[in-house]
């Protein structure tokens, strides 16, 4: 059987009894059952459609990877500008010097890296490429989980020792005094623990840790209840630990919940759409709503030293609760982790949606999709 008979419904009916899927109905029809004439037209249609589909898939893959690399370029520029003291990409055209131009060139380089990433794996399917985005997001979330776990425990222990007046006996008078300064505790305790968390995230790859973080939140809250009502004991750091872990749980789990269809959809029409139309909605929704939201959070949160994310991080901002935990500034950073992880997840979700719109095989089965 010829290729035209495979594609055309009429050719399949007239040229043989083999049942094949109808991919392009009403194309390549024959005149009076003349199969060869229909075959030529059908082969031409298939060839053109295949080229357009491949080009479109490559284009959207390049878009997703370029957005991802641009996100990391923006974060690197933000660090170099406000932490390392470089002039910033915006100063390239106003006398910022070579450093400013290097920072500005990071953005076209990021786009080029996105294109190169796709060119090196042209044969990769959309769903397979989406899985690579999910793997990147999973690593970021694992790192964030271990970071808040280690930092939360270490900071809570130090706050406990300070409250009970025994910290000097453990670490000495000088170190105890330094640990009372947010900058010292952040630079010499929190940041090293976050670096160690990178190695832990690479070693433990089987889980994202959401269940364990939820359990820790419950344990920390129960500890407050028991100590308050049984021993009449409660300190500020205990409530700080619950808020610290709960904020991390809420913001870090969002990206995972997105791909598992766990977010609640309040809709009237979407639930009744066929799969391809759902793919179309998710396709443009990922760009116009999802990626835009993440970009707004990063831009307004990191546009200057006084922005809502940069300012607490730069100043190691802490709460005014006496001997509470010194982690308030990190909770501002949770917004950045949320925006970055969601941006990368939306990049992968976009490719999944395009694959759904085109009816490509291999769609993931979600066990318990979110309510509508």
* Higher pLDDT, residue 257 or 150: 150
Read off the pTM: 0.79
Q: Cα–Cα distance between 360 and 250 in angstroms, integer? A: 33
* Higher pLDDT, residue 7 or 85: 85
pLDDT of residue 319: 84
Q: What is the pLDDT of residues 321-332, one digit of tens each?
A: 767 899 999 999
The residues, ordered by sequence, that sit 6+ positions from 30 with a Cβ below 8 Å of its Cβ are 8, 10, 11, 14, 37, 38
* Higher pLDDT, residue 153 or 259: 153
Instruction: Taking the CA atoms of 348, 350, 356 and 358 in sequence, report the sign of the dihedral they define.
Output: negative
For 260-327, where are the alpha helices, taking DSSP H only? 275-285, 292-301, 310-315
Stretch 230-234: mean pLDDT: 87
| Averaged pLDDT score across all residues of the chain | 82
Is the pLDDT at 203 greater than 70, yes or no? yes
* Higher pLDDT, residue 96 or 175: 175
pLDDT of residue 255: 78
Stretch 120-149: mean pLDDT: 92
Q: Cα–Cα distance between 343 and 327 in angstroms, integer? A: 25
Stretch 145-165: mean pLDDT: 93
Q: Cα–Cα distance between 119 and 70 in angstroms, integer? A: 18
3-state secondary structure of 169: helix
Is the pLDDT at 128 greater than 90, yes or no? yes
pLDDT of residue 209: 66
Stretch 118-142: mean pLDDT: 92
pLDDT of residue 189: 95
pLDDT of residue 118: 94
Q: What is the pLDDT of residues 38-75, one digit of tens each?
A: 444 333 433 333 333 467 889 999 999 999 999 999 99
How many Cα atoms occupy the beta-carbon half-sphere of 305 within 13 Å?
A: 11
pLDDT of residue 96: 85
Is the pLDDT at 221 greater than 60, yes or no? yes
């Amino acid at each position: 059987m010829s290729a035209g008979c495979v594609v055309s419904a009429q050719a399949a009916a007239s040229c043989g009894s083999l049942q094949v899927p109808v991919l392009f109905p009403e194309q390549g029809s024959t005149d009076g059952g003349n199969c060869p004439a229909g075959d030529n037209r059908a082969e031409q249609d298939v060839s053109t459609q295949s080229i357009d589909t491949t080009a479109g898939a490559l284009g959207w893959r390049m878009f997703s990877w370029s957005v991802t690399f641009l996100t990391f370029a923006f974060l690197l520029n933000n660090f170099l500008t406000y932490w390392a003291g470089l002039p910033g990409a915006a100063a390239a055209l106003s006398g910022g010097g070579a450093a400013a131009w290097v920072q500005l060139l990071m953005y076209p380089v990021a786009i080029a890296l996105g294109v190169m990433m796709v060119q090196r794996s042209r044969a990769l399917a959309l769903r397979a490429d989406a899985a690579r985005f999910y793997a990147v997001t999973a690593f970021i979330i694992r790192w964030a989980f271990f970071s808040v776990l280690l930092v939360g425990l270490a900071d809570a222990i130090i706050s406990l020792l300070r409250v009970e007046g025994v910290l000097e006996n453990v670490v000495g008078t000088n170190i105890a005094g330094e640990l009372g300064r947010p900058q010292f505790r952040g630079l010499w305790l929190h940041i090293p623990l976050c670096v160690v968390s990178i190695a832990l995230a690479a070693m433990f790859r089987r889980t994202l840790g959401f269940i364990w973080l939820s359990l820790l939140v419950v344990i920390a809250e129960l500890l407050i209840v028991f100590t308050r009502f049984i021993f009449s004991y409660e300190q500020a750091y205990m409530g700080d630990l619950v808020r610290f872990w709960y904020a991390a749980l809420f913001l870090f789990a969002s990206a995972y919940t997105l791909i598992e269809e766990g977010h609640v959809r309040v809709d009237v029409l979407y639930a009744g759409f066929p799969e391809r139309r759902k793919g179309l909605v998710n396709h443009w929704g990922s760009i116009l709503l999802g990626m835009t939201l993440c970009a707004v959070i990063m831009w307004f949160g990191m546009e200057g030293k006084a922005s809502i994310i940069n300012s607490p991080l730069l100043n190691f901002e802490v709460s005014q609760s006496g001997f509470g935990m010194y982690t308030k500034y990190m909770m501002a950073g949770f917004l950045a982790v949320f925006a970055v992880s969601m941006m990368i997840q939306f990049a992968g979700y976009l490719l999944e949606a395009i694959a759904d719109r085109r009816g490509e095989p291999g769609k993931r089965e979600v066990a318990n999709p979110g309510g509508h």
